[in-house]
Amino acid sequence: MDAMGRSTKSSSEGSKTVSGSPGADTALGSDFLQLDIGQAPPGGRTAWLADRLRSAIADGRLPVGTRLPASRVLAGELRVTRGVVTEAYRRLAESGQIAGRGRLGTVVVAAPAAPVAPAAPRESARDAAGPEHALFASAVRDGVVDALRALPCRIDLSPGLPDLAAFPRTAWLRAERAVLAGVTPADFGYGDPRGAPALRRAVVGWLARNRGIRADPDEVVVVAGVAQALSLLGKLLRADGIHRVAVEDPGSLGARQQLEYGGHTVVPVPVDAGGLDVGALRAGGARAVLTTPAHQFPTGVVLDGERRRELLSWAAAGGVVIEDDYDAEHRYDRPPVPALRSLLPDGVCYAGSVSKLLAPALRVGWLLVPPDRLDAVVTAKRYADLGNGVLTQLVLARLMDSGELERHLRHVRQRHRRRRDAMLRAVEARLPGARVHGAAAGLHLMVTFDDLGTGLRDTDLAAAALARGVKVHPLSWHRLTPGPPGLVLGYAAGAAHEVDEGIALVGEALGSLTGGG
């Protein structure tokens, strides 16, 4: 460094303060409004302070309801007598802009003329501006699922949500209390980008008990959900020169959009009754595939034994399999299916999360990759965000270790099953011509209207349902190549009577389009 004169000056100032006023623990000036008393004219500090407060109220930096610092605190920070601050506050109180509110302290109560608009919550203003079905009218764009989510509705039959009302709030708070009592100061610092060791150990136990997967905690990378897992894996694939990724068709719109955002070309591979068509995968020539073998999204098909063998032999020959095990734990009428990863740890990248077990808003998942890709994925996670937040990880680890999460899963599975049954009955009664797919497991089912052929656009049906207050996903959102119209219908989030009412309204919408209503 060529000229550090100023830093040296700062440091000598620092030393001077140390020796000159050893008890002074306040900074020069206040962070509050960046007030610097050095700017006040001599003898005019009260007027200056009152003026600064008045402008901050006028320009919206201190909106109505803001609490001002205690006069003692502000006086200390500005190194003025407390009288300067109380007098400035008194002047603003007299002009009606602030008022004492007892234990709440001094609060801004009114802004002068021409106030700025209050920063009210206007979450979905941009998205909700157009007519509801504008969403469904055009080609699928980035953020369309977020935009649908932000719209108001009476009944939400969007797929992908478990019963969120069942979130174990009491158990969570209990675990959080234990975590906060036991955590060390060092745990609050920067941590291992792979995640908290306690959660990685708990995930290993969970995967061994519930998904047949054996892993070492050092192989587990905690991620912010399967979405982040895909984003990290996308980086690794590009670094390997893999720019085309095969996806299931139909398959998840969100996953496809994410791969495309990451610079990949997606190669559609058809799904039939046996699951992903591995022959078509080979023919397509992509070197990586994203698949949902335990419960294909959205069809609900299970990858059958022969296809599993074919896919594993494709992987053993160098293909990269990305297994999205998104809702394998929700089964009703069929035996469990072990994860592909349990059969070929060296050839399968495996991603799972608590989104369908507990709640998507926790944004916690896990990623296992073949050993030769571990360093690269840890580096990708480091530079993505330095690792997940620690408190949520430690709470989850406790819930997993104590068996609380398994108990929760058994509890919601019963509720989900009743809602699934309600939806099956409602579909049979209210949606003539609908063919049901994939109802044996999961949190949603798929219906197709095979006989209506090209006479019905499912986006029109989804728009007509939304006009009646019901959110559903048109199947075509999740298709890459055209096929019969259909809907993807989530049944887990709401009560059985809401599921029934929602399907009745979808039936009305269908009737309005086909002339049957």
CB of 128 to its own copies, least distance (A): 13
CB of residue 327 vs its own copies: minimum separation in angstroms? Answer: 12
Q: Single out the segment in contact with its own copies by CB under 8 A; choices: 44-52, 269-277, 466-474, 508-516.
A: 269-277
Q: How far, CA to CA in Å, does 481 sit from each of 99, 235, 272, 290? A: 65, 26, 14, 17
CA 73/CA 27 separation, integer angstroms: 11
Residue 510 beta carbon to its own copies: minimum distance, rounded to whole angstroms: 19
Strands (E), 82-168: 98-100, 106-108, 155-156
Contact positions with its own copies (CB under 8 A) in 352-381: 359-364, 378-379
Return the closest-CA partner of residue 472 out of 514, 425, 506.
Answer: 506
Residue 485, C-beta contacts closer than 8 angstroms, at least 6 positions apart: 448, 449, 452, 456, 457, 458, 461, 474, 475, 476
The residue range among 129-137, 281-289, 445-453, 498-506 that interacts with its own copies, by the rule CB under 8 A, is: 445-453
Minimum CB distance to its own copies smaller for 176 or for 512:
176
User: Is residue 439 a contact residue for its own copies (CB under 8 A)?
Assistant: yes
Find the shortest distance in angstroms from Cβ 247 to its own copies: 15
Please name which of 430, 419, 421, 417 lies closest in space to residue 503, comparing C-alpha atoms.
Answer: 430
Residue entry with tokens 């802009």? 97
- 59 lies in the site for its own copies, by CB under 8 A: yes
Q: Does 325 bind its own copies (CB under 8 A)?
A: no
Residue 173 is a binding residue for its own copies (CB under 8 A): yes
Q: Is residue 140 involved in binding its own copies (CB under 8 A)? A: no
Kindly tell me which of 62 and 92 has the beta carbon lying closer to its own copies.
Answer: 62
What minimum distance in Å lies between the beta carbon of 318 and its own copies? 26
Residue whose CB is less far from its own copies, 169 or 515: 169
Q: Does 265 bind its own copies (CB under 8 A)?
A: no
Provide DSSP, 296-340.
-TTT-PPPPHHHHHHHHHHHHTTPEEEEE-SSTT-BSSS-----G
Contact call for residue 31 and its own copies (CB under 8 A): yes
H/E stretch holding 175 reads helix 169-182
Burial degree of 176 (CB within 10 A; 0-12, 13-18, 19+)? middle
Task: Tell me the closest approach of the beta carbon of residue 93 to its own copies, in angstroms.
Answer: 19
For its own copies, the closer of residues 284 and 512 by Cβ is 284
Interface residue with its own copies among 209, 306, 451, 455 (CB under 8 A) is 209
Q: Does 257 bind its own copies (CB under 8 A)?
A: yes
Asked if 414 interacts with its own copies (CB under 8 A), we say yes
Supply the angle between the helices 82-94 and 45-58 in degrees, to the nearest 10.
50
The nearest distance, CB 429 to its own copies, in angstroms, is 12
